[in-house]
Amino acid sequence: MDYLKYFVPVLMQLATLAGLLAGGHWVWVGIATFPLLALVDSILPADYSPRQIKSRALSLIPVWICTILGPTLYLALAWIVLNGQLDGAQTIGALLSVAWLSVLPVIPATHELYHQRGAISRFAGRYAQVCYLDCTRDIGHVVTHHIHVATVKDSDTAPRGMSLYGFAPRSVLETTLDCQRTESDALQKRGYGRWSIRHRLWKAILAQLVFQSLIYSIGGWEANLVSLGAMIVARFWIETFNYFQHYGQVRAVGTPIERRHVWNHLRPLSRIMTFEITNHADHHLNSYAPYYALVPDRMAIPMPSVFVCFLAALVPPLWFNSIIKPALERWDRDFASPEEQKLAMAQNERAGWPNWLESRGNAQKAAPNHA
């Protein structure tokens, strides 16, 4: 049964593909899955069960299918733009459906592949990222994020007080620049020019041009514009995963990464639809571990469905006051080291948030002694 669970995102992609090919109002099928997933996932209990999967080859079948269907949806979008006689609202529906499906499940599928050791898997994981204009994303993720997570050096960790609207554009810019800088530094250490022809950026641009040319050959300039719109929406939407999984976490530079330095979203659909990206703690301890081998952290602070977190963050006061502040207060009190507590309270001060550690100390001093 555990093998079959991960075909649910494949079914979502196939339903979206069928909706695009059917045309008309059916093009909204893809984006309609988002509120449905949020509703169902929010009412299901947390899933702490380890997966009973033994075959790595079988576990990768849905990952590969999702990776291949990502670009396929763009080709279907190009065809429907040319032949579907969509009105304005239907074109927006098609664009949003493909953008959403580029986020989920393509991001987790490509993430799983470019973390593999095999060259073919890494190649596919890298270049399927044409779906969101970011074929060098894995550089910053693997080299920078996994080393600097929860520190001030990590552009994927949102500081306290920052809204989703402030984080997404900042993260798009900073992660893109970080990827290119990291690649240039690596080339320079190997004795090449910082912008040598060996730089991954040139390969990423070539891959994007080839993909856009294929879209143009199917649907012309209009299809290219609609597809680029979907890719841009997806590119910003993608950053929300990091926003929810690392928000406000602190770690002193140079100290070991521990399971407590990430947030986990362990509702059943959060886990299944993301190939366990939301079952996050073990991944940062061993990035080569396959998704099915990640064991949920029962000791971690429970977080809501990742879909619910996104909807809450669209209204920043709701996200801050109902979800993340209570979680961070508990983390600061019960999980943070003394050094991390100092870093956390410094962030709280900059954000205009309460110093809840000091408040607790004052409350304890004021409490009457009943001994």
Q: Residues 116-171: pLDDT tens digits?
A: 989 999 999 999 999 999 999 999 999 899 999 999 999 999 999 999 999 999 99
Give pLDDT tens digits for 145-154: 999 999 999 9
Q: What is the 3-state secondary structure (H, E, C) of 101-141?
A: HHHCCHHHHHHHHHCCCCHHHHHHHHHHHHHHCCCCHHHHH
Q: Which residue has the higher pLDDT, 362 or 20?
A: 20
CA distance 265 to 91: 33
What was the pLDDT predicted at 99?
A: 98
CA distance 189 to 181: 12
Cβ distance 37 to 15 under 8 Å?
no
The residue whose two tokens read 């006051």 is 321
Please state the φ and ψ torsions of residue 249, each to the nearest 5 degrees: -70, 150
Q: What is the mean pLDDT of residues 281-288?
A: 90
Cβ distance 303 to 313 under 8 Å?
no
Q: What is the mean pLDDT of residues 173-190?
A: 96
Considering the chain, what is the average pLDDT of its residues?
94
**CA dihedral over 144, 147, 151, 152, signed as positive or negative:** negative
Does the pLDDT of residue 361 top 70, yes or no?
no
When pLDDT is cut at 50, 70 and 90, the band that residue 241 belongs to is: confident
Query: Who's near 263: CB < 8 A, 6+ residues apart?
Result: 244, 245, 246, 247, 249, 280, 300, 301, 303, 327
Give pLDDT tens digits for 248-277: 999 999 999 999 999 999 999 999 999 999
pTM for the full predicted model: 0.93
Cβ distance 354 to 264 under 8 Å?
no
Does the pLDDT of residue 6 top 60, yes or no?
yes
What was the pLDDT predicted at 368?
A: 45
When pLDDT is cut at 50, 70 and 90, the band that residue 369 belongs to is: very low
Q: What is the C-alpha R_g of the chain?
A: 22
The residue whose two tokens read 């593999």 is 116
Does the pLDDT of residue 292 top 80, yes or no?
yes
Token pair for residue 300? 């971690």
